[in-house]
Structure 1
Amino acid sequence: MQLHVLADNYWFPDIEQALDDPDGLLAMGGDLSCQRLVSAYRHGIFPWYNDSQPLLWWSPKIRAVISPEHVHISRSMKKWMAKCPYRITLNSQFERIIAQCAIRPHDGTWITKQMQQAYIELHHQGFAHSVEVWDDDKLVGGLYGVSVGQLFCGESMFHRATNASKLAFIQFSHHFAQHGGQLIDAQMPTTHLQSLGVVDCPRRQFKHYLRQYRDQAVDVNCWESQEL
Protein backbone atom coordinates (compact mmCIF):
# COMPACT_ATOMS: atom_id res chain seq x y z
CA MET A 1 0.00 0.00 0.00
CA GLN A 2 1.15 3.54 -0.71
CA LEU A 3 -0.19 7.00 0.01
CA HIS A 4 -1.83 8.48 -3.08
CA VAL A 5 -1.15 12.08 -4.11
CA LEU A 6 -4.24 13.69 -5.63
CA ALA A 7 -4.16 15.47 -8.98
CA ASP A 8 -6.23 18.43 -10.17
CA ASN A 9 -9.23 16.28 -11.06
CA TYR A 10 -11.69 14.99 -8.45
CA TRP A 11 -10.65 11.32 -8.61
CA PHE A 12 -10.03 9.32 -5.44
CA PRO A 13 -8.51 5.85 -5.12
CA ASP A 14 -10.64 2.97 -3.89
CA ILE A 15 -10.97 3.11 -0.12
CA GLU A 16 -9.72 -0.48 0.18
CA GLN A 17 -6.30 0.98 -0.67
CA ALA A 18 -6.16 2.99 2.58
CA LEU A 19 -3.15 2.38 4.82
CA ASP A 20 -3.28 0.15 7.89
CA ASP A 21 -0.87 2.44 9.75
CA PRO A 22 -2.04 5.05 10.31
CA ASP A 23 -5.41 3.37 9.98
CA GLY A 24 -7.43 4.74 7.10
CA LEU A 25 -5.02 7.28 5.61
CA LEU A 26 -5.70 7.11 1.87
CA ALA A 27 -4.45 10.22 0.07
CA MET A 28 -2.95 13.67 0.40
CA GLY A 29 -3.20 16.92 -1.52
CA GLY A 30 -5.94 18.29 -3.70
CA ASP A 31 -8.22 21.00 -2.36
CA LEU A 32 -11.42 21.55 -0.40
CA SER A 33 -13.61 22.60 -3.33
CA CYS A 34 -17.27 21.59 -3.18
CA GLN A 35 -16.79 19.22 -6.13
CA ARG A 36 -13.94 17.38 -4.42
CA LEU A 37 -15.67 17.21 -1.04
CA VAL A 38 -18.86 15.82 -2.58
CA SER A 39 -16.82 13.26 -4.52
CA ALA A 40 -14.99 12.28 -1.32
CA TYR A 41 -18.12 11.72 0.74
CA ARG A 42 -19.79 9.78 -2.06
CA HIS A 43 -16.86 7.36 -1.90
CA GLY A 44 -16.61 7.06 1.90
CA ILE A 45 -13.72 9.49 2.35
CA PHE A 46 -13.34 12.57 4.55
CA PRO A 47 -10.60 15.18 5.12
CA TRP A 48 -8.84 15.35 8.49
CA TYR A 49 -5.65 17.29 9.15
CA ASN A 50 -4.32 20.28 11.08
CA ASP A 51 -2.61 23.50 10.07
CA SER A 52 0.86 21.95 10.26
CA GLN A 53 -0.01 19.11 7.86
CA PRO A 54 -0.84 18.80 4.16
CA LEU A 55 -4.46 18.08 3.25
CA LEU A 56 -5.04 14.43 4.27
CA TRP A 57 -7.95 12.16 3.25
CA TRP A 58 -9.14 9.18 5.31
CA SER A 59 -11.35 6.10 5.22
CA PRO A 60 -10.78 4.03 8.38
CA LYS A 61 -11.03 0.25 8.53
CA ILE A 62 -13.94 0.45 11.00
CA ARG A 63 -16.67 3.07 10.67
CA ALA A 64 -19.13 4.11 13.37
CA VAL A 65 -22.69 3.98 12.00
CA ILE A 66 -26.29 3.85 13.13
CA SER A 67 -29.64 3.38 11.48
CA PRO A 68 -31.47 6.56 12.60
CA GLU A 69 -34.55 4.76 13.89
CA HIS A 70 -32.32 2.69 16.21
CA VAL A 71 -30.86 5.58 18.19
CA HIS A 72 -30.67 4.57 21.86
CA ILE A 73 -32.24 6.82 24.50
CA SER A 74 -31.44 5.80 28.06
CA ARG A 75 -34.10 5.88 30.76
CA SER A 76 -32.42 8.84 32.45
CA MET A 77 -32.18 10.68 29.14
CA LYS A 78 -35.88 10.13 28.48
CA LYS A 79 -36.73 11.61 31.89
CA TRP A 80 -34.46 14.56 31.23
CA MET A 81 -35.97 15.13 27.76
CA ALA A 82 -39.49 15.12 29.19
CA LYS A 83 -38.58 18.19 31.28
CA CYS A 84 -36.10 19.79 28.90
CA PRO A 85 -36.94 23.37 27.87
CA TYR A 86 -34.49 23.45 24.95
CA ARG A 87 -35.56 24.19 21.39
CA ILE A 88 -33.94 22.39 18.42
CA THR A 89 -33.65 23.79 14.91
CA LEU A 90 -32.23 22.59 11.60
CA ASN A 91 -30.07 24.67 9.26
CA SER A 92 -30.63 27.99 11.02
CA GLN A 93 -27.06 28.81 12.15
CA PHE A 94 -24.58 26.67 10.23
CA GLU A 95 -21.68 29.12 10.49
CA ARG A 96 -22.08 29.44 14.24
CA ILE A 97 -22.28 25.67 14.69
CA ILE A 98 -19.09 24.92 12.80
CA ALA A 99 -17.29 27.75 14.61
CA GLN A 100 -18.36 26.34 17.98
CA CYS A 101 -17.31 22.81 16.97
CA ALA A 102 -13.86 24.20 16.15
CA ILE A 103 -13.32 25.45 19.72
CA ARG A 104 -11.20 22.76 21.41
CA PRO A 105 -9.10 24.63 23.99
CA HIS A 106 -7.32 21.55 25.36
CA ASP A 107 -6.95 19.36 22.27
CA GLY A 108 -6.49 21.78 19.39
CA THR A 109 -8.75 21.42 16.35
CA TRP A 110 -8.74 19.89 12.91
CA ILE A 111 -11.59 22.27 11.93
CA THR A 112 -9.24 24.92 10.58
CA LYS A 113 -10.36 28.26 9.15
CA GLN A 114 -9.85 26.80 5.68
CA MET A 115 -12.01 23.81 6.62
CA GLN A 116 -14.73 26.04 8.04
CA GLN A 117 -14.94 28.13 4.87
CA ALA A 118 -15.08 25.01 2.71
CA TYR A 119 -18.00 23.53 4.65
CA ILE A 120 -19.83 26.85 4.78
CA GLU A 121 -19.69 26.87 0.97
CA LEU A 122 -20.84 23.24 0.98
CA HIS A 123 -23.78 24.36 3.14
CA HIS A 124 -24.65 27.10 0.67
CA GLN A 125 -24.64 24.47 -2.06
CA GLY A 126 -27.14 22.37 -0.08
CA PHE A 127 -24.85 19.50 0.95
CA ALA A 128 -23.81 20.40 4.52
CA HIS A 129 -26.34 20.82 7.33
CA SER A 130 -26.48 21.84 10.97
CA VAL A 131 -28.62 21.13 14.02
CA GLU A 132 -28.86 23.79 16.74
CA VAL A 133 -29.93 23.46 20.38
CA TRP A 134 -31.20 26.62 22.06
CA ASP A 135 -31.80 27.62 25.67
CA ASP A 136 -34.03 30.63 24.97
CA ASP A 137 -31.80 32.62 22.58
CA LYS A 138 -28.52 31.04 23.73
CA LEU A 139 -26.87 28.43 21.49
CA VAL A 140 -25.92 25.56 23.84
CA GLY A 141 -25.18 22.67 21.50
CA GLY A 142 -25.39 21.24 18.03
CA LEU A 143 -23.81 19.24 15.24
CA TYR A 144 -23.08 19.43 11.53
CA GLY A 145 -22.42 17.01 8.70
CA VAL A 146 -22.82 16.25 5.02
CA SER A 147 -25.79 14.62 3.26
CA VAL A 148 -25.16 11.93 0.63
CA GLY A 149 -28.60 10.83 -0.55
CA GLN A 150 -30.17 8.81 2.25
CA LEU A 151 -26.89 8.79 4.17
CA PHE A 152 -25.80 11.54 6.57
CA CYS A 153 -22.10 11.85 7.38
CA GLY A 154 -21.75 13.47 10.79
CA GLU A 155 -18.64 15.64 11.15
CA SER A 156 -18.61 17.12 14.64
CA MET A 157 -20.79 18.11 17.58
CA PHE A 158 -20.42 20.31 20.64
CA HIS A 159 -22.24 21.17 23.85
CA ARG A 160 -22.14 24.08 26.26
CA ALA A 161 -24.84 22.60 28.49
CA THR A 162 -25.46 19.08 29.82
CA ASN A 163 -26.88 16.65 27.23
CA ALA A 164 -27.19 19.31 24.52
CA SER A 165 -25.18 17.41 21.88
CA LYS A 166 -26.98 14.14 22.70
CA LEU A 167 -30.31 15.93 22.28
CA ALA A 168 -29.20 17.31 18.91
CA PHE A 169 -28.23 13.81 17.74
CA ILE A 170 -31.45 12.17 19.00
CA GLN A 171 -33.80 14.75 17.53
CA PHE A 172 -31.95 14.85 14.25
CA SER A 173 -32.03 11.04 14.02
CA HIS A 174 -35.80 11.04 14.43
CA HIS A 175 -36.19 13.77 11.81
CA PHE A 176 -33.87 12.03 9.35
CA ALA A 177 -35.66 8.68 9.73
CA GLN A 178 -39.07 10.32 9.23
CA HIS A 179 -37.86 11.83 5.94
CA GLY A 180 -36.40 8.68 4.44
CA GLY A 181 -32.89 8.75 5.89
CA GLN A 182 -31.38 5.27 6.16
CA LEU A 183 -27.96 5.58 7.79
CA ILE A 184 -25.87 8.01 9.84
CA ASP A 185 -22.09 7.75 9.54
CA ALA A 186 -20.31 9.00 12.66
CA GLN A 187 -16.88 8.19 11.17
CA MET A 188 -14.97 6.93 14.22
CA PRO A 189 -16.42 5.16 17.29
CA THR A 190 -16.33 6.93 20.65
CA THR A 191 -17.86 6.10 24.02
CA HIS A 192 -20.19 9.10 23.66
CA LEU A 193 -21.52 7.85 20.31
CA GLN A 194 -21.74 4.22 21.44
CA SER A 195 -23.99 5.33 24.31
CA LEU A 196 -26.42 6.53 21.62
CA GLY A 197 -26.45 3.18 19.83
CA VAL A 198 -23.71 3.74 17.25
CA VAL A 199 -22.06 0.45 16.21
CA ASP A 200 -18.90 -0.62 14.36
CA CYS A 201 -19.12 -1.22 10.62
CA PRO A 202 -16.31 -2.77 8.54
CA ARG A 203 -15.16 -0.67 5.59
CA ARG A 204 -16.37 -3.19 3.01
CA GLN A 205 -19.87 -3.17 4.50
CA PHE A 206 -19.81 0.61 4.57
CA LYS A 207 -19.00 0.60 0.83
CA HIS A 208 -22.10 -1.52 0.29
CA TYR A 209 -24.24 0.99 2.22
CA LEU A 210 -22.80 3.83 0.15
CA ARG A 211 -23.75 2.18 -3.12
CA GLN A 212 -27.20 1.43 -1.74
CA TYR A 213 -28.06 4.90 -0.38
CA ARG A 214 -25.97 7.63 -2.01
CA ASP A 215 -28.21 8.03 -5.07
CA GLN A 216 -31.51 7.67 -3.20
CA ALA A 217 -33.26 10.90 -2.24
CA VAL A 218 -34.77 11.84 1.12
CA ASP A 219 -38.07 13.73 1.24
CA VAL A 220 -37.87 17.10 -0.46
CA ASN A 221 -38.43 19.12 2.73
CA CYS A 222 -35.92 17.20 4.87
CA TRP A 223 -33.26 19.93 4.73
CA GLU A 224 -35.48 23.02 4.88
CA SER A 225 -34.68 25.37 7.75
CA GLN A 226 -37.16 24.35 10.44
CA GLU A 227 -37.77 23.53 14.08
CA LEU A 228 -37.41 19.88 15.04
Structure 2
Amino acid sequence: MVRLDENEISFPDPEVYDGHDGLIAYGGDLSIERIWFAYQLGIFPWYNPGEEILWWCPDPRFVLVPDEIKVSKSMRKILNRNVFTFSENKNFREVIKNCQQTVRKGQSGTWLSDELMESFIKLHEYGLARSIEVWQDEKLVGGFYGLQIGNVFCGESMFAKVSNASKAGFIHFVESNKNNIELIDCQSHTEHLESLGAKMIPKKEFLKILHDNNERR
Protein backbone atom coordinates (compact mmCIF):
# COMPACT_ATOMS: atom_id res chain seq x y z
CA MET A 1 0.00 0.00 0.00
CA VAL A 2 1.32 3.42 -0.99
CA ARG A 3 1.61 6.38 1.37
CA LEU A 4 0.67 9.65 -0.32
CA ASP A 5 2.70 12.84 -0.09
CA GLU A 6 0.63 15.79 1.17
CA ASN A 7 2.62 18.11 -1.10
CA GLU A 8 2.05 16.16 -4.30
CA ILE A 9 -1.28 15.20 -5.83
CA SER A 10 -0.72 11.74 -7.24
CA PHE A 11 -2.02 8.18 -6.87
CA PRO A 12 -0.85 4.72 -7.88
CA ASP A 13 -2.41 3.66 -11.19
CA PRO A 14 -5.44 1.55 -10.13
CA GLU A 15 -5.28 -0.37 -13.41
CA VAL A 16 -1.94 -1.92 -12.49
CA TYR A 17 -1.90 -1.57 -8.68
CA ASP A 18 -4.24 -3.85 -6.77
CA GLY A 19 -4.14 -3.18 -3.06
CA HIS A 20 -5.60 -5.38 -0.33
CA ASP A 21 -9.40 -5.56 -0.79
CA GLY A 22 -9.22 -2.53 -3.05
CA LEU A 23 -7.22 -0.32 -0.69
CA ILE A 24 -4.94 1.69 -2.99
CA ALA A 25 -3.23 4.23 -0.75
CA TYR A 26 -3.36 6.13 2.53
CA GLY A 27 -2.51 9.61 3.72
CA GLY A 28 -2.45 12.76 1.63
CA ASP A 29 -5.12 15.35 2.23
CA LEU A 30 -8.74 16.15 1.38
CA SER A 31 -8.16 19.15 -0.87
CA ILE A 32 -10.76 19.50 -3.59
CA GLU A 33 -8.00 19.15 -6.19
CA ARG A 34 -6.91 15.77 -4.81
CA ILE A 35 -10.48 14.48 -4.42
CA TRP A 36 -11.43 15.52 -7.96
CA PHE A 37 -8.29 13.92 -9.38
CA ALA A 38 -8.93 10.72 -7.41
CA TYR A 39 -12.47 10.30 -8.71
CA GLN A 40 -11.34 10.74 -12.28
CA LEU A 41 -9.06 7.74 -11.67
CA GLY A 42 -11.85 5.70 -10.09
CA ILE A 43 -10.47 6.15 -6.55
CA PHE A 44 -12.47 7.41 -3.57
CA PRO A 45 -11.76 8.18 0.13
CA TRP A 46 -13.38 6.02 2.80
CA TYR A 47 -12.13 5.98 6.38
CA ASN A 48 -13.19 6.54 9.96
CA PRO A 49 -12.94 10.12 11.25
CA GLY A 50 -9.80 10.61 13.31
CA GLU A 51 -7.89 7.91 11.43
CA GLU A 52 -5.62 8.04 8.37
CA ILE A 53 -7.33 8.90 5.09
CA LEU A 54 -7.76 5.69 3.11
CA TRP A 55 -8.19 5.63 -0.68
CA TRP A 56 -10.02 2.77 -2.41
CA CYS A 57 -10.64 1.27 -5.84
CA PRO A 58 -12.42 -2.06 -5.20
CA ASP A 59 -12.60 -5.00 -7.55
CA PRO A 60 -15.30 -5.77 -8.52
CA ARG A 61 -17.10 -2.41 -8.67
CA PHE A 62 -20.77 -1.92 -7.83
CA VAL A 63 -22.50 0.13 -10.55
CA LEU A 64 -25.87 0.80 -12.12
CA VAL A 65 -26.55 1.21 -15.84
CA PRO A 66 -29.48 3.67 -16.14
CA ASP A 67 -31.32 1.58 -18.75
CA GLU A 68 -31.21 -1.40 -16.40
CA ILE A 69 -32.93 0.21 -13.41
CA LYS A 70 -35.62 -1.95 -11.79
CA VAL A 71 -38.77 -0.29 -10.50
CA SER A 72 -41.23 -2.43 -8.55
CA LYS A 73 -44.98 -2.06 -9.08
CA SER A 74 -45.36 -0.62 -5.59
CA MET A 75 -42.67 2.01 -6.22
CA ARG A 76 -44.20 2.90 -9.58
CA LYS A 77 -47.52 3.53 -7.83
CA ILE A 78 -45.81 5.80 -5.30
CA LEU A 79 -44.14 7.76 -8.08
CA ASN A 80 -47.36 8.02 -10.10
CA ARG A 81 -49.27 9.27 -7.04
CA ASN A 82 -46.74 12.09 -6.59
CA VAL A 83 -46.18 11.21 -2.95
CA PHE A 84 -42.85 13.05 -3.21
CA THR A 85 -41.53 16.02 -5.13
CA PHE A 86 -37.91 16.35 -6.23
CA SER A 87 -35.33 19.06 -6.77
CA GLU A 88 -31.65 19.26 -7.66
CA ASN A 89 -28.95 21.35 -5.99
CA LYS A 90 -31.52 23.23 -3.94
CA ASN A 91 -29.90 22.46 -0.60
CA PHE A 92 -26.65 20.51 -0.98
CA ARG A 93 -25.45 21.33 2.53
CA GLU A 94 -28.58 19.93 4.21
CA VAL A 95 -28.45 16.77 2.10
CA ILE A 96 -24.84 15.98 2.98
CA LYS A 97 -25.44 16.93 6.62
CA ASN A 98 -28.33 14.48 6.82
CA CYS A 99 -26.21 11.80 5.15
CA GLN A 100 -23.56 12.35 7.81
CA GLN A 101 -26.03 12.14 10.70
CA THR A 102 -28.06 9.15 9.49
CA VAL A 103 -27.73 6.10 11.73
CA ARG A 104 -27.12 3.02 9.58
CA LYS A 105 -27.61 -0.63 10.40
CA GLY A 106 -24.37 -2.28 11.48
CA GLN A 107 -22.49 1.04 11.86
CA SER A 108 -21.65 2.67 15.17
CA GLY A 109 -20.73 6.03 13.61
CA THR A 110 -20.26 7.86 10.36
CA TRP A 111 -17.49 7.58 7.75
CA LEU A 112 -18.25 11.13 6.59
CA SER A 113 -15.93 13.42 8.56
CA ASP A 114 -16.51 17.16 8.90
CA GLU A 115 -13.41 17.83 6.79
CA LEU A 116 -14.56 15.55 3.98
CA MET A 117 -18.05 17.05 4.13
CA GLU A 118 -16.66 20.57 3.72
CA SER A 119 -14.55 19.43 0.75
CA PHE A 120 -17.65 18.10 -1.00
CA ILE A 121 -19.50 21.33 -0.27
CA LYS A 122 -16.67 23.23 -1.97
CA LEU A 123 -16.83 20.83 -4.92
CA HIS A 124 -20.53 21.60 -5.16
CA GLU A 125 -19.81 25.32 -5.15
CA TYR A 126 -17.50 24.72 -8.15
CA GLY A 127 -20.31 22.88 -9.93
CA LEU A 128 -18.66 19.46 -9.65
CA ALA A 129 -20.93 17.85 -7.06
CA ARG A 130 -24.71 17.45 -7.29
CA SER A 131 -27.45 16.86 -4.76
CA ILE A 132 -30.93 15.47 -5.27
CA GLU A 133 -33.55 16.48 -2.72
CA VAL A 134 -36.76 14.61 -1.93
CA TRP A 135 -39.62 16.58 -0.40
CA GLN A 136 -42.91 15.71 1.26
CA ASP A 137 -45.27 18.43 2.49
CA GLU A 138 -42.46 20.94 1.86
CA LYS A 139 -40.11 19.09 4.23
CA LEU A 140 -36.79 17.54 3.21
CA VAL A 141 -37.33 13.81 3.77
CA GLY A 142 -34.61 12.23 1.64
CA GLY A 143 -31.86 12.74 -0.87
CA PHE A 144 -28.37 11.88 -2.01
CA TYR A 145 -25.27 13.51 -3.47
CA GLY A 146 -22.27 12.66 -5.61
CA LEU A 147 -19.74 13.91 -8.14
CA GLN A 148 -20.51 14.34 -11.83
CA ILE A 149 -17.57 13.39 -14.06
CA GLY A 150 -18.69 13.80 -17.65
CA ASN A 151 -21.49 11.30 -18.12
CA VAL A 152 -20.51 9.16 -15.12
CA PHE A 153 -22.21 9.99 -11.81
CA CYS A 154 -20.25 8.89 -8.74
CA GLY A 155 -22.81 8.42 -5.99
CA GLU A 156 -21.60 9.03 -2.46
CA SER A 157 -24.32 8.69 0.15
CA MET A 158 -28.08 8.92 0.61
CA PHE A 159 -30.55 9.32 3.43
CA ALA A 160 -34.27 8.91 4.07
CA LYS A 161 -36.42 10.16 6.91
CA VAL A 162 -39.57 8.44 5.65
CA SER A 163 -40.08 5.11 3.93
CA ASN A 164 -39.19 4.97 0.20
CA ALA A 165 -37.91 8.56 0.06
CA SER A 166 -34.33 7.83 -1.03
CA LYS A 167 -35.46 5.07 -3.37
CA ALA A 168 -37.98 7.36 -5.06
CA GLY A 169 -35.37 10.10 -5.40
CA PHE A 170 -32.85 7.72 -6.93
CA ILE A 171 -35.36 6.35 -9.46
CA HIS A 172 -36.44 9.87 -10.39
CA PHE A 173 -32.82 10.91 -10.88
CA VAL A 174 -31.96 7.88 -13.03
CA GLU A 175 -35.05 8.13 -15.22
CA SER A 176 -34.54 11.88 -15.68
CA ASN A 177 -30.90 11.49 -16.72
CA LYS A 178 -30.90 8.44 -18.99
CA ASN A 179 -29.84 10.57 -21.95
CA ASN A 180 -26.83 12.17 -20.28
CA ILE A 181 -25.56 9.61 -17.77
CA GLU A 182 -23.89 6.44 -19.00
CA LEU A 183 -23.11 4.88 -15.65
CA ILE A 184 -23.74 5.41 -11.94
CA ASP A 185 -20.88 4.37 -9.68
CA CYS A 186 -22.31 2.97 -6.44
CA GLN A 187 -18.84 1.98 -5.18
CA SER A 188 -19.66 -0.86 -2.78
CA HIS A 189 -22.53 -3.33 -2.59
CA THR A 190 -25.78 -2.53 -0.78
CA GLU A 191 -28.99 -4.58 -0.88
CA HIS A 192 -30.92 -1.33 -1.29
CA LEU A 193 -29.26 -0.47 -4.61
CA GLU A 194 -29.08 -4.08 -5.76
CA SER A 195 -32.88 -4.18 -5.58
CA LEU A 196 -32.89 -1.25 -8.02
CA GLY A 197 -30.69 -3.03 -10.55
CA ALA A 198 -27.14 -2.22 -9.48
CA LYS A 199 -24.61 -4.96 -10.16
CA MET A 200 -20.97 -5.89 -9.81
CA ILE A 201 -18.61 -5.48 -12.77
CA PRO A 202 -14.83 -6.09 -12.95
CA LYS A 203 -12.68 -3.13 -11.94
CA LYS A 204 -10.97 -3.27 -15.32
CA GLU A 205 -14.31 -2.79 -17.09
CA PHE A 206 -15.29 0.09 -14.81
CA LEU A 207 -11.98 1.88 -15.29
CA LYS A 208 -12.24 1.54 -19.08
CA ILE A 209 -15.68 3.19 -19.03
CA LEU A 210 -14.29 5.96 -16.84
CA HIS A 211 -11.20 6.40 -19.03
CA ASP A 212 -13.27 6.54 -22.23
CA ASN A 213 -15.57 9.05 -20.56
CA ASN A 214 -12.61 11.25 -19.58
CA GLU A 215 -11.26 11.07 -23.16
CA ARG A 216 -14.57 12.41 -24.53
CA ARG A 217 -14.78 15.34 -22.13
Contact 1:154–1:184 (CA under 8 A) maintained in structure 2: yes
Distance in 2 of aligned mates of 1:168 and 1:206: 24
Aligned residues: 212
| Deviation of the 1:117 alpha carbon | 0.4
Of 77, 80, 97, 2:78 maps to 80
Contact 2:152–2:183 (CA under 8 A) maintained in structure 1: yes
Amino acid across the alignment from 2:185? D
Q: Which runs of 5+ in 2 are unaligned?
A: none
Contact 1:142–1:158 (CA under 8 A) maintained in structure 2: yes
| Deviation of the 1:40 alpha carbon | 0.3
1:94 equivalenced with 2:95 (yes/no): no
Contact 2:151–2:181 (CA under 8 A) maintained in structure 1: yes
- Could you tell me which residue of structure 2 aligns to residue 207 of structure 1? 207
Deviations 1:173-196 (A, max 9, x none): 122213x21110000111111100
Distance in 1 of aligned mates of 2:19 and 2:189: 18
Deviations 1:119-178 (A, max 9, x none): 000101111110000012210000000011110000000100111101111111122213
Does the residue aligned with 2:181 lie in a helix, a strand or coil? Answer: coil
1:197 equivalenced with 2:197 (yes/no): yes
Distance in 1 of aligned mates of 2:181 and 2:215: 12
The change in CA–CA distance for 1:38 and 1:175 in structure 2 (over 3 A counts) is: same
- TM-score by length of structure 1 reads 0.89
Contact 1:4–1:13 (CA under 8 A) maintained in structure 2: yes
Does the residue aligned with 2:29 lie in a helix, a strand or coil? Answer: coil
| Deviation of the 1:207 alpha carbon | 0.9
- Could you tell me which residue of structure 2 aligns to residue 12 of structure 1? 11
| Deviation of the 1:69 alpha carbon | 2.4
- Could you tell me which residue of structure 1 aligns to residue 28 of structure 2? 30
- Could you tell me which residue of structure 2 aligns to residue 177 of structure 1? 178
Percentage identity across paired residues of the two chains: 41
Does the residue aligned with 2:177 lie in a helix, a strand or coil? Answer: helix
Deviations 1:187-217 (A, max 9, x none): 0111111100001011111111111113445
Distance in 2 of aligned mates of 1:124 and 1:187: 23
Contact 2:154–2:185 (CA under 8 A) maintained in structure 1: yes
What is the RMSD computed on CA atoms of the aligned residues?
1.3
Distance in 2 of aligned mates of 1:69 and 1:145: 19
| Deviation of the 1:104 alpha carbon | 3.4
Of 100, 103, 106, 1:105 maps to 103
Does the residue aligned with 1:131 lie in a helix, a strand or coil? Answer: strand
- Could you tell me which residue of structure 2 aligns to residue 46 of structure 1? 44
1:61 equivalenced with 2:63 (yes/no): no
- TM-score by length of structure 2 reads 0.93
- Could you tell me which residue of structure 1 aligns to residue 121 of structure 2? 120
The change in CA–CA distance for 1:214 and 1:174 in structure 2 (over 3 A counts) is: farther
